[in-house]
Structure 1
Amino acid sequence: MALWKLHGNGRTVEPGAVVRPDERLSWPATIAVGVQHVIAMFGATFLVPVLTGFPVSTTLLFSGVGTLLFLLITRNKLPSYLGSSFAFIAPVTAATATQGMGSALAGIVAVGVLLAAVGVIVQFAGLGWIDTLMPPVVAGAIVALIGFNLAPVAWQNFQVQPLVGTVTLVAVVLFAVLFRGFLGRISIVLGVVVGYVFAVIVQLSTGEQLIDFQAVSDAAWLGLPEFHIADFASPGTWSVIAMFLPVVLVLIAENVGHVRGVATMTDPSVNRSTGRALIADGAATTLAGTFGGSGTTTYGENIGVMAATRVYSTAAYWVAGTVAILLSLSPKVGAVFNTIPAGVLGGVTTALYGLIGIIGIKIWVDNRVDFSRPVNQYTAAVSLVIAIAGFTIVWGDFQLGAIVIGAAAALLIYHLGNAIARARKTGADDGGPIPAVGPLGGDPR
């Protein structure tokens, strides 16, 4: 109780004021806000395990545990919910198909450990080196390529039940366009609901088996989630781990953006928690991957809830994490989500995977990336084509997928291209040859 000061009368937020992280409303109001955070995160969090074949209940458990761990490591100063990260979908899907779930979990653990290590460095050295390594053109390319690499997966599900997929996709788009505020932010969830109901109607009217409810009927109301252990012993695990490493760059960008967003809306001193936020997300991801859960990240959906309610109290997130843990203890909840038809998944992921790609493009737009420069053109162009086409490199049992190749290409092209441009500029200034004009009219310098 002593962790938070009561804000005002505990019932309302004054015009122009916010409930700071170290404050809270009355406990009934705080619980209500916490439940709202659960609703906001739920759609995205359950979609990741549904799409990757991981147990839904296990993912819910570790999202709740991870959130509480995050609050502890950040010393209860940074409001955030840790839900399933979409950045893991592509490598998990590829790894599970080739090496099995154990190796995919090992990849998640490796990402968590590396992210925590980056957090330790940031805590002592600051963020400048990350900005140098991963400027906006590179960050945007890596985020975009992860989304676009998943396009074939969306099509595979869509074509199984094209009518259901179309209805789901149309519903997602309409909800996003027609509604503002909270309903607009959960358009993905609402689209899944519409698609699911439509599939039930089709099944009842035509007799076509789209959904099997037997597993829901057989599942217990209460029980422990299904655990799996990360497998580092399989021969192909290390090539899987290489496939996961670019995800670290995405998680860094997401966490840094989250901290900066909260700092802007509450107190600039929150930025000092950036290193701890990275450590906390790394620890939560490591824990989840070790025992069968999806990798985690700070959730933008919950920033939207905070912006709408003006309640940034960490108390609400303690409530949200606890509620998620309680939900995970019902196998019947997980069984319901496992009945979602392929057509619904195909429709919703057609929008979802595209949106991940658009987030990367938004990074370019927000930072006014200059695409008249050839080095920026090729950084983006080459990495995206590698991801969309699904390039792979194979050496015996070791395989590199399109995500790691595309991310490496973005980093190499940008940094080597700039180094060469600087060297040539120095040569031109000394009377040497003048660089040629780039393919779209830009000076490579």
Structure 2
Amino acid sequence: MTRQDIVLDVHERPKVPQWISLSIQHLFAMFGATILVPFLVGLSPSVALISSGLSTLGYLVITKGQIPAYLGSSFAFIAPVIAAKASGGPGTAMLVGFMAGMIYGIVALLIKQFGVKWLLNILPPIVVGPVIMVIGLGLAGNAVNMAMRIDPNDAATYSSLHFSVALVTLFLTIIATMFFKGFFGVIPVLFGIVCGYTYAAIVGIVDFSGVTAAKWFEAPELLIPFVTYSPELKWSVAIAMLPVVIVTFSENIGHQMVLSKVINRNLLVKPGLHRAIAGDGFALTLASLIGGPPNTTYGENIGVLAITRVFSVFVIGGAAVFAIIFGFIGKFSALISSIPTNVMGGVSILLFGIIASSGLRMLIDNKVDFSKNRNLIIASVILVIGIGGAFIQVTEQVQISGMALAAIIGAILNFVLPGREKNVDENALLSEDNN
């Protein structure tokens, strides 16, 4: 890529009118997914926007303004957050992000000291791929219930009308994903939600009373530890969170590799993978301290960078500022809250399926050979244990179940079964020293 191919380089600042328009474009790219996650786990979309903006600004500082990445709500943490909230309320759910952030910080220090080979050997594609598939398929029931029912938790509330809203949303999102080009090609989720919401309003299942009553400017209800709630550590929550961290580590490494190719810089060397991981850890911790869902770098915004050839961190920072501002607009928050669960269910059918398919794609891209019995065994065990809901009751309060148990057993099998590749190919971008 030549300098002529770049519209704005990483440290170039656009003029104000262009700056605003480019930043809003990134805001749209992350918006649909960022508000969907808190909607699914029962957290505040406004707080999610604020934590997303603050996390991104912090990430830019930690990475020395060298990585133009936007951070938004992570789909990988949906299951453990839901489980944590069910077992101990919002306060316990917030500990998921906090504990993950602490682990990220430790791993960042280890990567700075020892490089990244050890991490890739612990998390090879044959383990991570099936775990990603378990995350997506494990949420399939949630998506279907949201799509088909007036109340997702009550099987007796099936409604053809409400299901039609989900199907319209799903099909329009698919159309946008398949056929839209340019800027609109990177916001298919937002397009689907808007169209589904419009259809839901037409058929009369949207309640606008909350929007009418809401104030224009309103401070969101933050969940602050020891102020609004008392944190309660549950080891079952910590165990359930660990396999998700395994997945998000791999996801973050992948994002850095893709972004390095997009902007033609080896970000794994400068500013270093350890800074990127530390930035993600900061985002997870910050979100948990104010009541937002766990955050991670967004592939949607990397897509915007690739399309526009605008790599400026000032544009990314501008999008973060706009996200924070939107979080304080009460009418906007109320409008999001008025979206029927069936709309989100329709989008979730596609998104949760894509998560599962991403695990399959990881196996294909890394040419995992399923003619080898060891690979077939590892993947099979992870999938059945994870989706089937197997568990080990360690103590009365601690249970290793589902995805967590599947990931642990998969990692053990990878180490004990013969034929393991002891030196993982780090790819050309990972061949250099990351210290």
Same fold, TM exceeding 0.5?
A: yes
The answer on whether the counterparts of 1:143 and 1:357 sit within 8 Å (CA) in structure 2 is yes
2:218 match: 223
Q: Deviation string for 1:281-324 (max 9, x for gaps)?
A: 10111011122011110110001000001111111111111111
| Higher deviation after alignment, 19-28 or 122-131 | 19-28
Distance 1:176 1:420 in 2: 38
Q: Mark the structure with the bigger radius of gyration.
A: 1
1:16 aligns with 2:5: yes
The C-alpha deviation readout for 1:220-274, integer Å capped at 9, x for no partner, is: 1112221113577536x22112111112112212221122122222243422221
Using the TM superposition, name which of 55-64 and 389-398 deviates more.
Answer: 389-398
Which residue of structure 1 lines up, in the alignment, with residue 409 of structure 2? Answer: 409
Return the alpha-carbon distance in structure 1 between the equivalents of residues 224 and 412 of structure 2.
Answer: 35
Q: Which one scores higher on RCO, CA 8 angstroms, separation ≥ 6?
A: 2
What does residue 363 of structure 1 align with? 362
Tell me if the contact between 1:158 and 1:345 (Cα under 8 Å) persists in the aligned partners.
Answer: yes
Question: What is the total number of aligned residue pairs between the two structures?
Answer: 403
- Tell me what 1:242 maps to: 239
- Quote how far apart the aligned CAs of 1:136 are: 1.4
CA gap of 1:401–1:280, structure 2 versus 1, over 3 A, is: same
Matched with 1:307 is 306
Which residue in the other structure is 2:148 paired with? 159
Partner of 1:8: none
- CA–CA distance in structure 1, aligned partners of residues 324 and 415 of structure 2: 44
* Alignment pair present for 1:392 and 2:416: no
Separation of aligned partners in 2, 1:341 and 1:389? 30
Which runs of structure 2 are paired with 1:130-141 in the superposition (5 Å)?
130-141=119-130
Letter in 2 for 1:19: L
- The amino acid of 1:214's aligned partner reads S
Structure 1 counterpart of 2:354, which letter? L
Determine if the alignment matches structure 1 residue 289 to structure 2 residue 288: yes
Question: Which residue of structure 2 aligns with residue 382 of structure 1?
Answer: 381
Residue 15 of structure 2 corresponds to which residue in structure 1? 26
Q: Tell me how far apart the structure 2 counterparts of residues 172 and 390 of structure 1 sit (CA, whole Å).
A: 30
Matched, 1:37 2:26: yes
| 1:120–1:276 Cα contact (<8 Å) kept | no
Deviations 1:17-68 (A, max 9, x none): 3532122333322332111111101111010001110011111101000000
Does the 8 A contact of 1:259 with 1:271 survive in 2?
yes
- For the 8 Å contact 2:165–2:342, the answer to whether it is kept is yes
Q: What does residue 271 of structure 1 align with?
A: 268
Alignment match of 1:54 (pick from 23, 43, 64)? 43
Aligned mates of 1:405, 1:122 — CA distance in 2: 26
Distance 1:290 1:43, change over 3 A: same
State the partner residue of 1:72: 61
TM-score (norm 1): 0.86
How much has 1:420 moved relative to structure 2?
8.9
Deviation at 1:421, TM superposition (A): 11
Amino acid in structure 1 at the alignment position of 2:319: A
Tell me the amino acid that sits aligned with residue 327 of structure 2. S
Given the two structures, how large is their TM-score scaled by the length of structure 2?
0.88
**Aligned to 1:102, what secondary structure does the other structure show?**
helix
Distance of aligned partners of 1:165 and 1:20 in 2 relative to their CA distance in 1, 3 Å threshold: same
Structure-1 residue corresponding to 2:92: 103
Supply the distance in 1 between the matched residues of 2:3 and 2:59 (Cα, whole angstroms). Answer: 29
Segment drifting more, 46-55 vs 357-366: 357-366
Question: Matches of 2:412 and 2:330 in 1, distance apart?
Answer: 46
Mapped to 2, the partners of 1:16 and 1:234 lie a distance apart of 52
The one-letter amino acid of 1:357's match is A
